[in-house]
Amino acid sequence: MNTPNKLTLLRVILVPLVVVFLLIDAIPYHNLWALLLFVVACITDAVDGHLARKNNLITDFGKFLDPLADKVLVISILICFVSLGWTSAAVLIIIVAREFLVSGIRLVAVENGTVIAASIWGKIKTAFTMISVIAILVFQSAFQLFPAVFSESVQMILMYVGEGMMIISAILTVISGVEYIYSNRHAINSNK
């Protein structure tokens, strides 16, 4: 297994750790730890793709696993966010529905002998969603670390900013899903 694929697997391994820190508030500075681990996971996403392209290490396994690792990471975090009241269930539903749809198309394409890599719209959607998650984790970490600094009204404003970012992520998710279906319609043979 090459280094980019190992980094992708590391991202998958980090998911349960981020979830544990998010959901167990008995751990001191749990939001900060979740933020730091999530940032490490995001860095592995950037580095694995860069290394794969730079060193010509792009594999079918990597094309399949990289977007899957992104999905597992983001959906797990968003489920936690909904549970904690940090984002709406509607955003999660839109993102999960798109991911199921895209994964289904990918599986059909693989059955037909085609591996579909992520598109530019998918990458933009993933990047913006990860930035949105980071912003929300930064806000929550700041509230936790410096409670006296952030009044309730400032916290509410920052939570609205985070939710606004997640709504933009949901819109990008719809755009990337439509683009994905249209661009890969040839990969699905409805006669089989």
Average pLDDT of the residues in 171-186: 89
Instruction: Tokens for 44, please give them.
Output: 């592995």
What's the first-to-final CA gap in the chain, in angstroms?
Answer: 33
User: pLDDT-derived band of residue 53, with 50, 70 and 90 as boundaries?
Assistant: confident
Higher-confidence position of 181 and 14: 14
Q: Which pLDDT does position 192 carry in this prediction?
A: 54
Q: Which residue has the tokens 């996971």?
A: 41
The tokens for 115 are 């591996």
For 63-101, the pLDDT digits (tens) are 778 878 888 999 999 999 999 999 999 999 999 999 888
Q: What is the value of pTM for the model shown?
A: 0.86
Average pLDDT over residues 112-138: 86
The pLDDT tens digits for 154-166 are: 999 999 999 999 9
pLDDT of 107 reads 78
Q: What is the pLDDT of residue 39?
A: 96
Provide, rounded to the nearest whole percent, the portion of the chain with pLDDT above 70.
95
Q: Does residue 38 register a pLDDT over 90?
A: yes
Give me the domains of the chain, ranges plus CATH numbers: 3-187 (1.20.120)
- Please answer whether residues 88 and 166 qualify as being in contact, where contact means their C-beta atoms are separated by less than 8 angstroms: yes
User: How far is it, in rounded angstroms, from Cα 86 to Cα 191?
Assistant: 44
Mean local confidence (pLDDT), 128-134: 94
* Distance from C-alpha of 87 to C-alpha of 78, rounded to nearest angstrom: 8
